[in-house]
Amino acid sequence: MLKEELDKSVSVYSPPLYQEMMFFGWVKAPPCHNAKSTVACIAWHCTTLADNRAAFVNCAAGCGLMSKSQGCISCLAFSGLNEIFRCFDYTKREAINAPGIVLLSKKKVKSVKTVFFEPDVKQILIRAYIEAEIEDVGTVFCSHLTSNDNADYYEPNLKDKYASSKDQNLADSRKLTEAARLKNKPLIVGDLNTSPEVTAFNVTADFVGSYNHFLSEGFSSPYVTMVGKCTFCVPNPLVKGWMYNNILDHVMIRNHTVLSAKRIYDQNIPYKDYPMSDHYGVEVEIAN
């Protein structure tokens, strides 16, 4: 849809899509084509645990969720019980972008690839980054890192590796900076789910060890230093069940000249009482 709606001068990149197939691989299928009994088990046994994410995931895993395809697992995780029908929609039979990341560029993209932080490991919320060499910009790493959802750590296949979501976020932050270490002009962009404290604007620190790690590797977040207002904000009507203002969205730079920084998409959609997203956008203008 992005490719159809945007001007042809804009390149659109996403990770490889997960597409289920049926009829011996001849026909596309919806993400959870082969998961009806598992979903029925989850609906019957696990719905009463919906308010406790760790307990719910543990119950769903007991119903065989982690034996299904990553596309199905991700579809169910993104959709929730209220939108679950989309995972079985035989009229659309859609593929799914499991890590939920997309990179758009008006500049020429010389090379691009997707790297999964935990390759070949099925996850409830699988994480990855897009690495692209972009003309006149540098090397861009676009990602969405593990979030703080105030739940006990619940990734069934990573519990032996990480004790918490904070540990996983820091590990992924380190992998990003390791990949960027040999690049001359790297940018790490996206919802990094790490926030510094900015007392002037009532911004609370969250997973701050990861933010400090980026700083220790020579990166800076111009939006934080030049603007400092929250991007994930309690007053936003789309933010539910969260009590703190955070700056979770960043354009992290190294070896770039910064011209400006600002918060965008922080106004309500025309004729609506809510903005485009529960996260406001960040725009940073740079010069090489």
- Backbone φ and ψ for 130, nearest 5 degrees, come out as -100, 125
Helices and strands in the chain, H and E counts:
7, 11
The two structure tokens encoding residue 80: 């929730």
Average pLDDT over residues 93-103: 95
- Greater confidence (141 vs 288) lies with 141
Q: What is the pLDDT of residue 262?
A: 98
Q: What is the pLDDT of residues 128-176, one digit of tens each?
A: 999 999 999 999 999 999 999 888 999 999 999 999 999 999 999 999 9
Q: What is the pLDDT of residue 151?
A: 87
pLDDT(1) > 90: no
Among residues of the chain, what percentage have pLDDT more than 70? 100
Average pLDDT over residues 17-37: 94
pTM equals 0.94
Contact assessment for residue 32 and residue 76, using Cβ atoms and an 8 Å cutoff: yes
Q: What is the pLDDT of residues 101-134, one digit of tens each?
A: 999 999 999 999 999 999 999 999 999 999 999 9
pLDDT grade, residue 82 (50/70/90)?
A: confident
Average pLDDT over residues 66-91: 92
Beta strands in the chain (DSSP E): 11-13, 20-22, 27-29, 103-105, 109-116, 128-134, 138-144, 186-191, 249-253, 257-264, 281-287
Q: What is the pLDDT of residue 243?
A: 94
Cα 57 to Cα 50: distance, rounded to the nearest angstrom:
9
Grouping H, G, I as helix, E, B as strand and the rest as coil, residue 266 is: coil
Q: What is the pLDDT of residues 192-246, one digit of tens each?
A: 999 999 999 999 999 999 999 999 999 999 999 999 999 999 999 999 989 999 9
Exposure string of 171-185, with b = 16+ CB inside 10 Å and e = fewer, is bbbebbbebbeebeb
Q: What is the pLDDT of residue 90?
A: 95
Cα 199 to Cα 113: distance, rounded to the nearest angstrom:
38
The CATH number of 103-287 is which of 3.50.40.10, 3.60.10.10, 1.50.10.20, 3.40.710.10? 3.60.10.10
Residue ranges, comma separated, of all CATH 3.60.10.10 domains in the chain are: 103-287
Residue 8: which residues within 8 A CB-CB, separation 6 or more? none
Q: What is the pLDDT of residue 199?
A: 97
Across 43-52, 130-139, 277-286, least confident range: 43-52
pLDDT grade, residue 21 (50/70/90)?
A: very high
